[in-house]
Structure 1
Amino acid sequence: MPDYAYVRQTDGFTCGPTVALVAVAALDPDYGATVTDAAAEQHRIHAEANRLWPRKLGTTPWGVAGVISAHTAALGVRYGWRLFRGDLAPAIAAVECDWPVAMLIGAAIPRHWVLIVGHTDGELHCFNPARGVETTIPVADVAARRLEPLGFPRAFALVLPRHVTS
């Protein structure tokens, strides 16, 4: 994964664009090298992802998937989203193959995006754009709704690689 210590969401609505920026930079180092103003890039991504969705409501799962896919299509991979129903196996398999996975979390409603960037010994390594840091969460805590170290207890959706083209 790239050094994302310099990336932090700029406001309460850009966690999704920040996660997309870090995911794309991880998958395309050439893109990452061109980002000289992370805040401006977050806002550009936010506009790209939310053409019809009000920006004050954050970024939709299909918006995050679309932004990442726009950059990964050349690699033969499309990202898609799905509701989280307790199964992290596809996300773990993806990150173990160096494909980051975005996870939408919240309490009663979805409110925040984090990026799963790794998996080691039953723990997920998650980039939290609110603080610009990586936090480790036990895999079992995701299904048990104990994600408070990430800011909210519950996972709602995953954005992960789903289709490899030849």
Structure 2
Amino acid sequence: MKLAALRLRQRDGVSCGPAVAVVAGALLDPAYRRELVAPAWFAREQGRVHGRINTVWPRALGTTPMGMARAISAQGAGRGMPYRWRLCHGLWGRRDAMADVLAAVAQERPVAMLVGNVIPRHWVLIVEASGERLRCYEPSSGEVRTTSVGAVRAGRLTGLGFRRAFTFVLPSDLNSNV
């Protein structure tokens, strides 16, 4: 799928999580993927997903890691791919080997990453890895941007809205590697 060409943007200032969940679901499920060509469907689907995963948590505060794991699991459930969340390990992630993240992406299973500066604020989706390079869907722009594993570990992300990774949401069958 040519994700970058679709320019799929989040529908408002608090729907980065639902946008990431919908795109992750489209990458995991070919039938669901066909719907992405309709921009109106993408906007409606973000609203539907946001309502489903934020039943207790206020929508104005975005999507929690638990909510993101539920959303991606529901989207990929037909393919038997439950997702879980985990913290980015160590100060600024320096101790985080990210082996599970890289393994998931190598198997064409996207990984959601919650980023921020002092507090977590924005979801992006790691969709491809090549050596130290990561390609990430950034929902506020609808672009696929490049960063590096080193930038994730060092808390020096650029082009993804914020500098530091806080949480990863990845397939449950991959063990955390610190």
% same residue: 50
Distance 1:29 1:53 in 2: 30
Q: Which residue of 1 aligns with 2:28?
A: 27
**Structure 2 residue aligned with 1:90, among 80, 87, 100?**
100
Q: Residues 93-118 of structure 1, C-alpha deviation per residue, up to 9 Å, x if partnerless? A: 10000000000000110000000001
SS in 2 for 1:16: helix
Letter in 1 for 2:88: F
**TM-score (ref. length: structure 1):** 0.93
Please list every run of 5 or more consecutive structure 1 residues that lacks an aligned counterpart in the other structure. Answer: none
Q: Which residue of 1 aligns with 2:165?
A: 155
Distance 1:54 1:133 in 2: 27
Q: Over the residues paired in the alignment, what is the CA RMSD in angstroms?
A: 1.4
Letter in 1 for 2:16: C
**Structure 1 residue aligned with 2:57, among 42, 53, 59?**
53
Letter in 1 for 2:117: A
Distance 1:3 1:111 in 2: 23
CA contact (8 A) 1:24 1:31 kept: yes
Q: Residues 107-142 of structure 1, C-alpha deviation per residue, up to 9 Å, x if partnerless? A: 110000000001012111100001000111011011
CA contact (8 A) 1:2 1:25 kept: no
**TM-score (ref. length: structure 2):** 0.87
For residues 11-22 of structure 1, what are the structure 2 equivalents within 5 Å? 11-22=12-23
Aligned residues: 164
